[in-house]
Amino acid sequence: MISVVTPVYNEEAVLPEFYRRLTAVLKAIGEPYEIILVNDGSKDSSISIMKDLCGRDACVKVVSLSRNFGHQIAISAGLDYATGDFVAIMDSDLQDPPEVLPSFFKKCAEGYEVVYAIRMNRKEWVLKKVAYSVFYRLLKKMANIDIPLDSGDFCVLSRRALDTLLSMPEKNRFLRGLRGWIGLAQTGLEYDRDKRSAGEVKYTLTKLMKLALDGFISFSY
């Protein structure tokens, strides 16, 4: 059984296409699956699209948060409900292409408990690319654990890795750091990060700064 957990914040412009592409990939894999869409307090029509998908497709489950809590908390909430033997975490704006998932699951079949995605090409504006690059390299210097460079939250976890992650009491979760901290057999796979398929970016500068701070505070010695 495969679970896919996806945070959604005002993504009405991409949700139908995300669902279509992800479902095509999961059907082709041929294992039972569930798609857990986490509504992070969207103010557009995302929630009605999600409810509609849930009504039409028994594989779709919806977790709806009472307000906007942010990406990391939305993912954590979704992970609490995931029942799969393997759980994928991915964004809903199609920057994480669903088509690469089969290669992730192949690595799991080889025995890896954590397979994380390494971003090769970011199709972002230059300043943002530089900021990301500096952040990850600085964190690597300051962190007392091995946080892989340029890997975001896009990954597949085994049930054991997920249960370990969920047993941790952190509230301000920097998931990509905790994921490294738990140990187990881990490997990275490179992929080209696509452009956001539609709609505006939802990670504001303030939210990004908070994420970076959580990373530094939680993992630097």
12 binds ligand UDP (CB under 6 A): no
Binding window for ligand UDP (CB under 6 A); candidates: 4-12, 105-113, 168-176, 180-188: 4-12
Q: In what order do the strands lie in the sheet with 151-158?
A: 60-64, 33-39, 2-8, 86-89, 151-158, 114-122, 186-193
96 binds ligand UDP (CB under 6 A): no
- Computed over its alpha carbons, how large is the radius of gyration of the chain? 16
| Minimum CB–partner distance for residue 199 and Mg ion (Å) | 9
92 binds Mg ion (CB under 5 A): no
**Count of residues in the chain:** 221
On the 0-12 / 13-18 / 19+ scale of CB atoms within 10 A, 43 is exposed
7 binds ligand UDP (CB under 6 A): yes
Q: Which of 107, 176, 179, 202 binds ligand UDP (CB under 6 A)?
A: 202
The answer to whether 93 and 86 have CB atoms below 8 angstroms apart is no
Query: By three-state DSSP, how is residue 109 classified?
Result: helix
6 binds Mg ion (CB under 5 A): no
DSSP state of 119: E
| Minimum CB–partner distance for residue 54 and ligand UDP (Å) | 17
For ligand UDP, what does the binding mask look like between residues 25 and 64, x meaning CB under 6 A? ---------------x------------------------
Indicate the residue among 106 and 195 with the shorter CB distance to Mg ion. 195
Please state the separation of Cα 212 from the chain's center in Å.
16
158 binds Mg ion (CB under 5 A): no
Q: Which of 61, 59, 54 is nearest to 81 (CA)?
A: 61
Task: State the Cα–Cα distance between residues 25 and 153, nearest whole angstrom.
Answer: 19
Indicate the residue among 179 and 196 with the shorter CB distance to Mg ion. 196
| Minimum CB–partner distance for residue 163 and ligand UDP (Å) | 23
Indicate the residue among 9 and 86 with the shorter CB distance to ligand UDP. 9
Task: State the Cα–Cα distance between residues 5 and 31, nearest whole angstrom.
Answer: 16
93 binds Mg ion (CB under 5 A): yes
* Binding footprint of ligand UDP on the chain (CB under 6 A): 7-9, 11, 40, 68, 70-71, 74, 91-93, 95, 196, 201-203, 207
